[in-house]
Amino acid sequence: MLNRNANGSMVYDPPYLNVQVGDSVSFLATRPGHNAVSIDGMVPHGATPINGKLNEEITVTFEVEGLYGIKCTPHYAMGMVMLIEVGEQKASADDLPQGLPKRAEERLQAYLER
């Protein structure tokens, strides 16, 4: 979780991961003032929402396939979001929920297109 990198300000690095069921991902508080929380509507059925506190380093083990959207609570409107796809199925922009903040939606669409 960073304030800035080559991709812009308020970013997760990397902003996209494709992992397998049973893999774990750690969210590192490399810079203070960030967290990792599930975006409403972007938690696969049967999965537990992610709910990290500010400055908290959490490790999440993914037991359910699907697309996970993650946001930083204070910087959501600035587009601090990331995607984790668990398993082989590839998501598209159609899988994004309605009503996302504009900058978050733009970044999530860009991650899905890569």
Q: What's the token pair of residue 40? A: 């409403």
- One-character DSSP codes across 16-42: EEEE-TT-EEEE--SSSS---EEPTT-
34: tokens are: 């960030």
- Verify binding: residue 72, Cu ion, rule CB under 5 A: yes
Applying CB under 5 A, the site for Cu ion has a residue count of: 4
71 binds Cu ion (CB under 5 A): no
Of 41 and 74, nearer to Cu ion (C-beta) is 74
* Phi, psi for residue 105 in degrees, rounded to 5: -60, -45
- Is residue 25 within 8 Å of residue 60, measured between CB atoms? yes
State which of positions 7-66 bind Cu ion (CB under 5 A).
34
- Does residue number 82 form part of the binding site for Cu ion (CB under 5 A)? no
Nearest residue (CB) to Cu ion, 12 versus 62: 12
- Closer CB to Cu ion, 91 or 110, in the complex: 110
> Quick one: tokens of 82?
């990331």
Is 80 a binder of Cu ion (CB under 5 A)?
Answer: yes
Chain positions contacting Cu ion, by CB under 5 A? 34, 72, 75, 80
